[in-house]
């Protein structure tokens, strides 16, 4: 779908043509120009609260947020529904598309350019540079950024850790020690699902810990066959297998909310997940720094593995443009950024945000992200590192290795290398998907 449409509608001028060609007009239900249907995947209790806050703030400005939430952690379902709806000529006016997906949709000329809003609001003066890159396509702003999540976040149960005299593990070696002590005390060391994206999220944490952001990029952004064959990839794969040993018996394909619930019930000592889990822990009555602690995942204390949430607007029916532009403007305001992220668990995309409005976990995330590209790593799982097809194939490969104990790290490395060679062949001469942390 993308290839064909991209070829026909390359360039920004193609917006209307592309929208008309596939009938990407807004749904009939959203007839009023100030009604904007918003497709997103914020469906857990805490995510719902954060989305409701956005809807309420829009209502104050006479924008009617018509909710189209599609369940599925990491946007699994939402991505598929969005493609189906666009092809069926029923595109929502606003949609959560993040990372490299922004470039994929913008390449087809389907996204509304928000250059006027960004220029009038002087976005460049306060956005982190990585965020500026992320929302631009061919020098046009095509998305409004909402918040930054830190994917390399470790949560630990403070009562259990105090009882066993444990400190939050800063290295994977220390993690092993903590896991042994928790296991000996009859507690599951780590809450973890075997759902593909959640396994791959753990793997990207391991790669970052093993190698730092530069090698991480070689593997997931450049998708270099040499990086796939590198001993650092082997080490991360072997560590993934070792961690499976710590969760054995409690491994099934649970949605992320259930994994958080297991940790909240005190049935696991640790949890590694993006900081949206923090908001869900609040929902479950857990208080940060009292009931649980937040730290960086082992070995990643100096790094920020990020997923940035963004809303893009579909071009196609220009009657909605004033409301779409107004929404984009409002999403960036300091108050909305602070309030939304306090409910959502992430941090503002603004360099001038007020750290006093952040909890200890958010403050650490925001200040490390502020150190710039050298410490940042774009999350593969959350579409920050590669196009959708490559991402899906890598996640599937890591998942297959994780599930099959007979599979050797070397086999997984060979298979990843073969995939990367294929991606490289495919992308040669094919304009289109760009990486979000591409340098301009
Ligand atoms: C999004 C978060 C969301 C999480 C779980 C991530 O891709 O960035 O906003 O809470 O997925 O679904």
Convert the pLDDT of each residue in 351-397 to its tens digit: 999 999 999 999 999 999 999 999 999 999 999 999 999 999 999 99
Give the per-residue SS3 of the chain.
CHHHHHHHHCCHHHHHHHHHHCCCCCCCCCCCCCEEEEEECCCCHHHHHHHHHHHHHHHHCCCEEEEEECCCHHHHHHHHHHHHHHHCCCCCCEEECCCHHHHHHHHCCCECCCHHHHHHCCHHHCECHHHHHHCEECCEECCEEEEEEECCEEEEEHHHHHHCCCCCCCCHHHHHHHHHHHHHCCCEEEECCCCHHHHHHHHHHHHHHHHCHHHHHHHHCCCCHHHHHCHHHHHHHHHHHHHHHHHCCCCCCCCHHHHHHHHHCCCEEEEECCCHHHHHHHHCCCCECCCEEEEECCCCCCCEEEEEEEEEEECCCHHHHHHHHHHHHHHCCHHHHHHHHHHHCCECCECCCCHHHCCHHHHHHHHHHCCCHHHEEECCCCCCCCCHHHHHHHHHHHHHHHHCCCCCHHHHHHHHHHHHHHHHHHHCCCCCCCCCCCCC
| Gap from CA of 239 to ligand 1 centroid (Å) | 25
Mutate to test the pocket of ligand 1, among 276, 305, 384 (most ligand atoms within 8 A of CB): 276
Q: What pTM did the predictor assign?
A: 0.92
**Measured from the CB, is residue 204 less than 6 Å from ligand 1?**
no
Report the pLDDT value the prediction gives residue 251, as an integer from 0 to 100: 85
**Measured from the CB, is residue 41 less than 6 Å from ligand 1?**
yes
- Those residues of the chain that have pLDDT short of 70 are 1-31, 429-440
Which ligand 1 atom is at minimum distance from the Cα of 276?
A: 10
**Measured from the CB, is residue 382 less than 6 Å from ligand 1?**
yes
Mutate to test the pocket of ligand 1, among 45, 73, 259, 271 (most ligand atoms within 8 A of CB): 73
Report the pLDDT value the prediction gives residue 250, as an integer from 0 to 100: 74
Report the pLDDT value the prediction gives residue 31, as an integer from 0 to 100: 62
Report the pLDDT value the prediction gives residue 12, as an integer from 0 to 100: 36
Report the pLDDT value the prediction gives residue 147, as an integer from 0 to 100: 98
Question: Atom 6 of ligand 1 has which residue's CA nearest to it?
Answer: 74
Tell me if 140 sits within 8 A of 113, measured CB to CB: yes
């Amino acid at each position: 779908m993308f290839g064909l449409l991209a070829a026909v509608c390359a360039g920004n001028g193609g917006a209307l043509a592309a929208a008309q060609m596939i009938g990407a007009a807004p749904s009939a239900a959203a007839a009023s120009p100030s009604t904007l249907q918003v497709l997103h995947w914020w469906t857990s209790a805490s995510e719902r609260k954060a989305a409701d806050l956005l809807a309420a703030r829009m209502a104050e400005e006479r924008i009617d947020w018509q909710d189209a939430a599609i369940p599925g952690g990491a946007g699994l379902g939402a991505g598929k529904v969005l493609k189906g709806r666009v092809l069926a000529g029923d595109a929502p006016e606003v949609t959560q598309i993040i990372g490299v997906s922004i470039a994929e949709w913008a390449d087809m000329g389907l996204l509304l350019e928000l250059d006027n809003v960004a220029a009038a609001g002087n976005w460049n003066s306060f956005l982190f540079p990585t965020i500026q890159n992320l929302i631009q396509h061919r020098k046009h702003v095509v998305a409004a950024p909402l918040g930054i999540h830190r994917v390399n976040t470790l949560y630990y149960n403070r009562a259990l850790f105090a009882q066993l005299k444990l400190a939050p593990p800063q290295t994977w070696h220390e993690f092993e020690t903590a896991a042994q002590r928790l296991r000996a005390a009859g507690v599951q060391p780590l809450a973890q699902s075997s759902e593909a994206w959640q396994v791959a999220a753990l793997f990207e944490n391991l790669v970052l810990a093993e190698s730092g952001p530069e090698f991480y990029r070689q593997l997931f952004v450049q998708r270099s066959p040499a990086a796939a064959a590198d001993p650092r990839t082997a080490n991360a794969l072997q560590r993934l297998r070792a961690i499976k040993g710590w969760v054995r018996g409690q491994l099934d394909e649970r949605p992320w909310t259930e994994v958080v619930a297991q940790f909240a019930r005190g049935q696991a000592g640790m949890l590694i997940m993006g900081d949206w889990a923090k908001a869900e822990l609040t929902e479950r009555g857990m208080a940060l720094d009292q009931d649980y602690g937040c730290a960086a995942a082992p070995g990643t204390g100096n790094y920020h593995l990020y997923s940035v949430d963004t809303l893009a607007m579909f071009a196609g029916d220009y009657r909605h443009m004033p409301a779409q532009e107004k929404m984009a403007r409002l999403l960036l305001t300091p108050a909305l950024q602070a309030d939304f992220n306090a409910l959502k668990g992430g941090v503002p995309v603004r360099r001038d945000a007020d750290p006093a409005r952040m909890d200890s976990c958010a403050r650490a995330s925001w200040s490390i992200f502020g150190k710039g590209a050298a410490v940042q790593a774009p999350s593969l799982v959350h579409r920050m590192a590669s196009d959708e097809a490559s991402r899906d194939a890598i996640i599937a490969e890591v998942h297959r290795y994780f599930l099959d104990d007979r599979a050797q790290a070397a086999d997984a490395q060979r298979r990843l290398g073969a995939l990367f060679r294929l991606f490289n062949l495919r992308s040669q001469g094919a304009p289109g998907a760009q990486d979000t942390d591409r340098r301009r």
